[in-house]
Chain A
Amino acid sequence: MPTIALPILGTAAAWRDAARGLLAAGVPPQDIVWQHGAVAADLFADAPATSGPGTATVPRSFVHLAATVCWHSDPERFGRLYALLWRLQGSDGLTQDHGDPDLAKLRAMEKAVRRDKHKMTAFLRFREIAPVSGRRRFAAWFEPDHHILEPVAPFFMRRFGDMDWVIATPALGATFTSGSISFGPGRTKPPLPEDATEELWETYFRNIFNPARLKVKAMTAEMPRKYWKNMPEAAAIPDMIASAGARATEMQSAAPTRAPARAAIIGRRLGMTDDTPPVDGLDALRRDAEGCTRCPLHRDATQVVVGEGPSDAPLMVVGEQPGDQEDLAGRPFVGPAGQLFDRFADEAGLDRSRAFVTNAVKHFKFVPRGKRRIHQKPDAGEVQACRWWLDAERQLVRPGLILAMGATAAASVTGKGQGIMKRRGTFEAAEDGTPVLLTLHPSYLLRVPDAGARAAAERDFRADLAAAARWLADHAA
C-alpha cells in the first residue's frame, strides 16, 4: 500500500503531482495512505513512478478546489480529494453537480479554508518592532484553524511591500525582509513589545460604536470570540456592551439644550450670502426656474434645463424636453439628439452659436428601469405648465424665427401638436405673430427603425434646416 507523505510547504502542488502520478498508474483511492508533514523526502520513494504530466484531464474547477482544500486541517482531505478525482474519470458533469454529497463536503472544506484565510487578512494585528534594515519592521501572532500561512502570505507581501514583517503561527512562521519571503518553523506566542498606536486604535474602536444600536450577535457572527484574544481592541468590547443601554437611554432622555451663541451669528451670516445680482434677464429667469414646481416633473429630474444662447438671437430652436444627458449636464441639446442637430445644422449653414436653443418642457420626464432612465413624452398638462417659461424666454430673446422640432414643441408654440408629418416644412405663426417653421424632432431620426424611412426623414430634416437658414439670410437686416 503506497504511503504518500506531503511536505508542510508547497502541500497543494505536491498533492497535485502525486495525485497525477497515482491516477496515471491506476492506483485506486482505498489503496493509498496520505500523510502530511512527515519529514524525510525519501518517503517519496514509495510513490509509484509517475508517468509524466498531462495524462489525466481534470476540469479546471476541480483544480481550483483541490488547490484550496489541500490547506484544510482535516487529515482526510487528501484522500477525499483523490477519491473524487477518481470518480471524476468518466463522469463529465460531476463538478457541476451542486447536490453531490462528496463534492458538497469538499466545497464546505474549501469554504472553511477561504473563510480562515479571509479572517486572517482581516484580524491579524501587527506591532512595530526594532528594524533590522532601513525599513520599518512589524510582527504579528496569529492562530489560524487551517494550514493557511503559506497561501495567504502573498496577500501580505502585496499589501505591506515597503516594510519588513514577521508573522508567527503555531505551525509555521513567515519572515518578509527587504522584499523577499522565507518560511520557518512554528512556535508559541512570542512576547511582542507594546505599541502606542494600539491605544489610539482602541479609542477609535470605542467611539465609532453607536450605543443606540446594540447588535452583539451580528458582531460575533462575523468576528467570533476565538479571534478576540489576539486583537487589541477586543478588550474594550465587554465594557462597550455593558454601558450601551445606559448611554442610549441617557441620549434619549436628555432635554434639548440651548444652542450655543455662535449658532445665531453663523445663521445670520449664512442668510446674508448668495445675493449676487443676476447678470441679465436670462440669468434671472434661470434662477427663478430652478425653484419651479408648476408641475410634478421637478421631483424626479436632476435639475431644470433652461435655454441657452445669445439674448439677441435671430433664431430660437425649440425641442421637446431635456434627455438623460441634458438632465445631468444642465444644458440643452448636449445628448445624442442634440449632437445630431448640431451636425445637420452645420451642414445646412445654420450657426448654432447664433441660435437660442431651448425646450418646450424644462425638466426630464422618465421612468427608472434598472440602471437606465427611459424617456417619457410629456403630457399636455406638463407642456401647458412649462409654456410659462418658454414664453418668458421668447419675451427676452424676441427671435425673428422659431424652429419648432417635433409635436411637443409645435403644441407649445402654435397651440396644436397633431399632424406634424404633414405640417413639417411649412411656416405657421405663433400667437404673437412670430413666424414658426415646423420640422421633425432629431430624436425621431435616431429612432426610425427602417433604413428607407430614416433616409427620407433625414432628407426632410435637412431641407427644413436649409429653409430656416434661407429665411434668416433673407431677413438679415
Chain B
Amino acid sequence: MSRLSLQDKLAILSDAAKYDASCASSGTAKRSSRKGDGLGSTEGSGICHAYAPDGRCISLLKILLTNFCIYDCAYCVNRVSSNVKRARFTIDEVVTLTLEFYRRNYIEGLFLSSGIVRSPDDTMAEMVEIARKLRVDEGFRGYIHLKTIPDADPALIEQAGLYADRLSINVELPTDMSVKAFAPEKNPVTIRKAMADVRLRKEAAAERSHTGRRGARFAPAGQSTQMIVGADGATDATILGQSTRLYSSYGLKRVYYSAFSPIPDATAKLPLIRPPLEREHRLYQADWLLRFYGFALDEITAATVDGNLDLHVDPKLAWALANRGAFPVDVNRAPRDMLLRVPGFGTKSVARILTTRRHRTLRYEDLVRMGAAMAKARAFVTLGGWSPGALTDSADLRARFAPPPEQLSLF
C-alpha cells in the first residue's frame, strides 16, 4: 500500500466520521488562555464555525483515529466487510491538526472517535493519549469530545473523563434486538453498563470529600448518545420510549437521532431506502417536548398514527389538534404549563408572556412582538383583540397547517 499524505488521511477519516450527528461544544467548564500560558477557551455556549450544505454545523474537528475496524455493523461505512479506503492517523497528526485548525479559528476543539482495532483497550489508550497530549503537553483549553469504546478498561474511561469535556457511547439502534441483528459484535448490555459507569464516576467526582474538596472534574459537559433512525423497523414511539429511559437512567445531556443515510459500499443486509429527514426533525421536536415542555411520553405517542409521528405537522400541533377540548387558552390567565402546550409558543415566548402579564393585560399585537408564531397559535388562544371563534373546532384546521396533498403521478 502506498503511503498516504496527511491530506489523504484527513479526507478518509473525516468522511468516515460524518455519520455521527453530535457536534455540541457547549455546557462545559469555563476555561481561558488569557494569561498566555496555553491556547483556547470555553465559555458556556459553543460556537458553530461553519455549516456544510447538509445543514449541519461544524463546530469540532470530527475525525476517526482510524477507520480500520474488526466489527461488522451493517449500517456503518467502516465495517470490516466494507471496501472503503482505510487509513490511520498517528497521535501527533491528530494533535497537530487540532491545534493548527484551532489557531485559525476553524473549530472549537476535537471530536475523536475510532474504529476498533486489535483490542478495545489499545484503541482507547491511544485516544486517551491524544487527549492527554493536548491538555497537558500543549496546554489546550478548547473542547474535547471522546467517543468511548464500550468494552475498554474502566481505568482508561476514568482517564478519558479527566481530559475530555464530554464522553459518549452510541446505543446505535433503538432496541436490543436490532443491535443484535445489525451490530452482531456489539452488546447492548455492555453499552448500557459503560453509560452507567460514566454517570457513577461523574457523580463521585462531584461529591465533596470530608475536607470539603471536590475531586478532579469528570467530563464536565456530561455524556450523550446517538440512535440511528430508520435502519430498523422501530417506530417513533419505541425510539422515544428508549430515549426517555436513557435520559432518566444515565443523566444524558443529549440523545442524538440520526436518520439512516445511504453510505458508500452499503451492505445488502439493509434496504437503502432513505428515511425522510423530516422524521429526524420530528423526533427532536418530540424529545424537546418531553424534556422542556412537560409532556408525558404517552401524551405524545397517543397523538401518533401506528406509533409514528405525523410528518406534516409538528408533534405539539398534533397533540393540540387531538385535544381541542383543552383550547382555546386564555393567554392572560392560563398557568405556565398550559401556555407551554400552545402550538407556536416556545419556552421563551411563555417566559415573556408571564413577566409581561404581571403588569398589564396582553393583546394580540403583543404576542407578535414577543416572537410567538401566531400563524400557528391563533387557532388555540384567546386574548384582548383576538378570539378564534369557531376556528379551534373547525374540521379543516389540520389542513391549514399541513402541506397540500400531492396528486399521485399518472405516469
In the bound complex, CA of A155 to CA of B45 (Å): 13
The yes or no answer to A231 lying at the interface (CB within 8 A) is yes
Residues in A lying within 8 Å of B, measured CB to CB: 93, 96-101, 104, 118, 121-128, 136, 138, 140, 155, 157-163, 178-179, 195, 197-201, 203-219, 222-223, 231, 233, 237, 240-241, 244, 248, 251-252, 254, 256-260, 262-263, 266-267, 269-270, 290, 299-300, 302-303, 327-330, 366, 368-373
A197 touches B101 (CB 8 A): yes
Do A204 and B356 contact each other (CB < 8 Å), given the known contacts A99-B365, A256-B267, A302-B196?
Answer: no
A270 touches B41 (CB 8 A): no
Nearest B residue to A199, CB-CB: B7
Q: In the complex, which of the residues B18, B50, B51, B262 contacts A251, with contact meaning CB atoms closer than 8 Å?
A: B262
The yes or no answer to B337 lying at the interface (CB within 8 A) is no
- What's the least CB distance linking B141 to chain A, in Å? 8
- What's the least CB distance linking A264 to chain B, in Å? 9
Mark each residue of chain B from 190 to 223: 1 if its CB lies under 8 Å from any CB of chain A, else 0: 0011011101100000000000000000000000
A372 touches B248 (CB 8 A): yes
Nearest A residue to B198, CB-CB: A328
Interface hits, B315-367 → A, CB 8 Å: 352-353, 355-356, 358-360, 362-363, 365-367
A161 touches B34 (CB 8 A): yes
In the bound complex, CA of A157 to CA of B43 (Å): 13
In the bound complex, CA of A438 to CA of B83 (Å): 63
Do A160 and B103 contact each other (CB < 8 Å), given the known contacts A248-B262, A303-B196?
Answer: yes
Interface hits, B251-304 → A, CB 8 Å: 251, 259, 261-268, 272, 274, 277, 291, 297
What would 25 A/B residue contacts be, using CB atoms closer than 8 Å? A99-B370, A118-B47, A121-B47, A138-B104, A155-B41, A159-B105, A162-B33, A162-B36, A162-B139, A197-B100, A197-B104, A200-B6, A200-B10, A200-B100, A203-B11, A207-B14, A209-B53, A210-B18, A212-B262, A212-B274, A213-B261, A214-B53, A216-B53, A216-B55, A256-B266
A208 touches B189 (CB 8 A): no
The yes or no answer to B153 lying at the interface (CB within 8 A) is no
In the bound complex, CA of A9 to CA of B55 (Å): 37
Per CB-CB distance, the 9 closest pairs between chain A and chain B, nearest first, are A218-B55, A99-B366, A215-B55, A161-B33, A259-B81, A368-B248, A93-B359, A98-B352, A328-B196
Do A98 and B248 contact each other (CB < 8 Å), given the known contacts A215-B54, A303-B196?
Answer: no
A207 touches B18 (CB 8 A): yes
A161 touches B35 (CB 8 A): yes
The yes or no answer to B91 lying at the interface (CB within 8 A) is no
The yes or no answer to B234 lying at the interface (CB within 8 A) is no
Inter-chain contacts of B17 with A (CB < 8 A): 208
Mark each residue of chain B from 30 to 68: 1 if its CB lies under 8 Å from any CB of chain A, else 0: 001111111111010001111111111110011000000
Q: In the complex, which of the residues A207, A248, A368 contacts B247, with contact meaning CB atoms closer than 8 Å?
A: A368
B55 touches A101 (CB 8 A): no
B265 touches A254 (CB 8 A): yes
Q: In the complex, which of the residues B197, B200, B248, B360 contacts A373, with contact meaning CB atoms closer than 8 Å?
A: B248
- What's the least CB distance linking A183 to chain B, in Å? 18
Count B interface residues, CB 8 Å. Answer: 94
A257 touches B51 (CB 8 A): no
In the bound complex, CA of A159 to CA of B109 (Å): 12
Q: In the complex, which of the residues A97, A122, A269 contacts B356, with contact meaning CB atoms closer than 8 Å?
A: A97
Nearest B residue to A198, CB-CB: B104
In the bound complex, CA of A122 to CA of B365 (Å): 34
Q: In the complex, which of the residues B81, B249, B261, B359 contacts A96, with contact meaning CB atoms closer than 8 Å?
A: B359
B37 touches A161 (CB 8 A): yes
Q: In the complex, which of the residues A211, A258, A300 contacts B245, with contact meaning CB atoms closer than 8 Å?
A: A300
B262 touches A158 (CB 8 A): no
In the bound complex, CA of A211 to CA of B19 (Å): 11
B101 touches A201 (CB 8 A): yes
Inter-chain contacts of A327 with B (CB < 8 A): 196, 249
In the bound complex, CA of A151 to CA of B197 (Å): 43
Inter-chain contacts of B176 with A (CB < 8 A): 299
Mark each residue of chain B from 122 to 137: 1 if its CB lies under 8 Å from any CB of chain A, else 0: 0000000000000000
In the bound complex, CA of A101 to CA of B362 (Å): 13
A122 touches B47 (CB 8 A): yes
Inter-chain contacts of B265 with A (CB < 8 A): 254, 256-257
In the bound complex, CA of A254 to CA of B176 (Å): 30
B249 touches A302 (CB 8 A): yes
Nearest B residue to A215, CB-CB: B55
B49 touches A123 (CB 8 A): yes
The yes or no answer to B89 lying at the interface (CB within 8 A) is no
In the bound complex, CA of A170 to CA of B48 (Å): 24
B103 touches A136 (CB 8 A): yes
Inter-chain contacts of B352 with A (CB < 8 A): 98
Do A98 and B369 contact each other (CB < 8 Å), given the known contacts A179-B36, A254-B266, A270-B185?
Answer: yes
